[in-house]
A and B are shown apart, each in its own frame.
Chain A
């Protein structure tokens, strides 16, 4: 029923146009009924986008190749999970997903905060509607997923590299992150437009920002896991422009999550915070532009398309609008509070912000420089991993150091004496760990050695923070006397702080894993005949022969391998290639054997199968790489702790804003 899909998209576009116009007019003239009507229009647009999505999903499930989109991305033999995931693996479908998630998120945010300040909501409806309007316009006029054709006998199938379970979850996670950043942007700009620059917009969007940041961060890690398993070069992050496109808004949102605490505690950095919110949102649009426009050559990017100029134009409009709003509201935004000391928690947050934003801008320059060079000079250049690695170390290591120092520095000002006393244990442990690693031969990677030493420093600080905090709460005696109740009370009373510490621990795990694979992996390439073996690290890999079988939609060739550690057979594994029937493409299917105790992987790529029965293998040992994936779970755990609603805080905020209608939910 493509007609229904098209009609639903046209209805969504009409409703969103109405929401923008009615929302802006309601804001200008103060029409409450019109505001409610405009809000309902956004709810209805979500329903219409939902209908369009259901039509597309039904067409995918039924292999309705009369839809050009379905025929281009699926085939009859494609497994059902990947067939349905084609919803977001093509350009038109992913734009529809953007619209669906955006109108859904906006509906939830507006419904939860409907009773909040009346002056901010109409502008929020107009602004979030403006963003949705752009995507609805693209879907109706430029890139519709409901274009029809004479149905071919079978579809072209899906790019083999997208046929991976992580690829089913990775794009929606990123979209939830990208789209989630629209909500704080819309509320921040609406607060400026209505001249309500108090903390209200921060209170309303705090959890939205955290949720968007969590989805974005977890989505990046899912993408890394996909790259590790599917792309098959033995690494996990390659500074690909599209990977960077997701990392940049995440870094800027990270800076915002820290600096917003300075505004809440000290009423400082108000201009900086709206700049960060606008920057994170603009970068999320830029990331979508990079993926969709085809301007860059990347394994992630889609083919050349006509939507690039529209995206660039929209990013320019967002940037211009944000700048005008911020500049015209500077008098209201300026804070009267000054930084009391350069040795204080707020100063530490400021340093952290400078490093995070500097890293994001450096990455941005690396991404756009090839585009600028080609456009201006006509010379194609590429910015490689050494550039990014250099700046990741230059800005990343001080950031890790700050993660260890920041938590023990007091707000307002700290004395050097108390700081030294607080840091004595972490510094001692870090030096001991560094010394032990050096003695153990870890000096072969100086950056890695420094990274591990700083990691030990941060982890010790975090553990001490929990220990000292629990001890202090127990000594107060309000926690019922037990250590567990003191600990749980400590976390419950300041979820953001202690959730944040758990996230810091996740970053350390990520660092340890990344340094392990980047600085201490070992590999060997070998052509082996059946019965021959190769040795890498502690592992001896014996090639026992090859096998073939027909999979659901591909012919699967595998090298069968026995794995020994010393003389002990510790397991078997397979590595090979899939030859996809409909797509007529071949993909590498790497073999991975995980040692959970050591956190390391034995990673095998079967590069080539020869006619004489031999195989070309690339065998790699990746130490500690599994800490990267563990970091993803710890990251989500910390984020959930930080996001968990706090009833005491809700009551306090409800009292604060009681004069203008109770706060429905922050």
Chain B
């Protein structure tokens, strides 16, 4: 029984080593190396987050207004800034091809 257990243990070890080593045996891609954060991509994701957030808030505001949770007066006061936020995020998304220096300044600033 002990010998059988040792054979199984050795088999388990070999399988694990092969499974773990397999990715290292494939050819390296040219892109291998530390991935620096792409400031432009980061800005794009943030702008998309802002857009999604503003659009979701607008939908929710409309629904809350319809259910009576938000009064007409509150609705009028809130809907304008939300539309501006969504428009601002959409404008940012349309300006993704700005110069890299400008983009980095936005990210770090």
Whether chains A and B associate is yes
Please count how many residues in chain B sit with their CB below 8 Å of the partner chain's CB atoms: 51
CA distance A412 to B60 in the complex (A): 11
Determine whether B22 belongs to the interface, using a CB cutoff of 8 Å to chain A: yes
- Contact for A40 among B22, B71, B74, CB less than 8 A: B22
A198 touches B46 (CB 8 A): yes
Determine whether B102 belongs to the interface, using a CB cutoff of 8 Å to chain A: no
Residues in A341-394 with C-beta less than 8 Å from chain B: none
Query: With A7-B9, A51-B12 as given contacts, are A37 and B70 in contact (CB-CB < 8 Å)?
Result: no
B44 touches A659 (CB 8 A): yes
List residues of B whose CB falls within 8 A of some A CB.
Answer: 1-2, 4-6, 8-9, 12-13, 15-16, 19-24, 26, 28-29, 31-35, 37, 41-42, 44-46, 48-50, 52-53, 56-57, 60-61, 63-64, 66-71, 73-74, 78
A-B CB contact pairs (8 Å), 27 listed: A1-B1, A3-B2, A4-B8, A4-B12, A7-B5, A7-B6, A8-B9, A15-B16, A31-B32, A32-B29, A32-B31, A33-B24, A33-B28, A34-B24, A41-B20, A198-B42, A200-B45, A265-B56, A410-B61, A410-B64, A410-B74, A411-B57, A415-B71, A418-B69, A468-B69, A655-B48, A660-B41
List residues of A whose CB falls within 8 A of some B CB.
Answer: 1-4, 7-8, 11, 15, 18, 28-34, 36-37, 40-41, 43-44, 47-48, 51, 118-119, 195-196, 198-200, 264-267, 408-415, 417-418, 421-422, 468-469, 471-472, 475-476, 652, 655-657, 659-660
CA distance A660 to B66 in the complex (A): 38
CA distance A33 to B23 in the complex (A): 5
A8 touches B12 (CB 8 A): yes
For the residues of A in contact with B, the DSSP-based class is: helix
CA distance A44 to B64 in the complex (A): 50
B68 touches A7 (CB 8 A): no
Most A Cβ at <10 Å: residue of B16, B32, B70 = B16
Query: With A40-B22, A40-B23 as given contacts, are A7 and B69 in contact (CB-CB < 8 Å)?
Result: no
CA distance A261 to B24 in the complex (A): 41
Closest 8 CB pairs of A and B: A30-B34, A7-B9, A36-B23, A4-B5, A3-B5, A1-B5, A418-B71, A468-B67
Query: With A410-B64, A475-B66, A657-B45 as given contacts, are A37 and B24 in contact (CB-CB < 8 Å)?
Result: yes
Beyond A1-B1, A200-B45, 8 additional contacts (C-beta under 8 Å) are A33-B32, A40-B23, A41-B20, A198-B46, A412-B78, A468-B68, A471-B67, A660-B41
CA distance A34 to B94 in the complex (A): 37
B67: which A residues are within 8 A, CB to CB?
468-469, 471-472
A51: which B residues are within 8 A, CB to CB?
12
B33: which A residues are within 8 A, CB to CB?
29-31
B15: which A residues are within 8 A, CB to CB?
44
CA distance A30 to B74 in the complex (A): 50
B9: which A residues are within 8 A, CB to CB?
3-4, 7-8, 11
Query: With A37-B23, A469-B67 as given contacts, are A418 and B34 in contact (CB-CB < 8 Å)?
Result: no
B70 touches A410 (CB 8 A): yes
A472 touches B19 (CB 8 A): no
Closest beta carbon of chain A to B10's beta carbon, Å: 8
A422 touches B69 (CB 8 A): yes
Closest beta carbon of chain A to B39's beta carbon, Å: 12
Among residues of A, the one whose C-beta sits closest to the C-beta of B108 is A331
